[in-house]
Structure 1
């Protein structure tokens, strides 16, 4: 099974910040209609790992480490996952 943990950005009121809104490294908006990123979060589809933190880079690094901790599929399923023939 392949697990994912999408990285999401949030405004101060808890609403999701659209992916097309760009920010500076400090979270200040570059989009006119965006109030700015206050925190980022990620949740793995395994159902065990979840993280929320003000620093997007920290959440992203922890997300990558968690995803790397899942065992990789073996055999024919691994080959299909690598080739992505659908």
Structure 2
């Protein structure tokens, strides 16, 4: 089973990738002179079969990636219960004896 690692990439309004060196506010507004700011974020998976919908926040894009990754995990079956039925079996008194 392939490992699913998620990468979130920021894009400028013109569609170019926003490098991490570009300083910005938490809302994505530019602090670096001469550029327009971050417009959207995309999360992509290393499986090459999934890409998120464009998001206006990095947090939401990352959440979409976490959901995709958790959907790819195999379903775990619940372990058998060791509750009251086991205790009753151990403490059982046969009336026939």
1:62 aligns with 2:64: yes
Structure 2 vs 1, CA of residues 3 and 53 (structure 1 numbering), >3 Å: closer, same or farther?
same
Deviation at 1:14, TM superposition (A): 0.3
Number of aligned residue pairs: 72
> Which has the greater radius of gyration?
2
Contact 1:17 1:34 in 2 (8 A): no
Structure 1: stretches of 5+ with no match in the other structure: 73-86
10-19 vs 55-64, which moves further: 55-64
Give the CA RMSD over aligned residues.
1.9
Distance in 2, Cα, partners of 1:20 & 1:64 = 25
TM-score by length of 1: 0.68
| Unaligned ranges ≥5, structure 2 | 75-97
5 Å-filtered alignment, 1:3-82, equals 3-51=4-52, 52-71=54-73
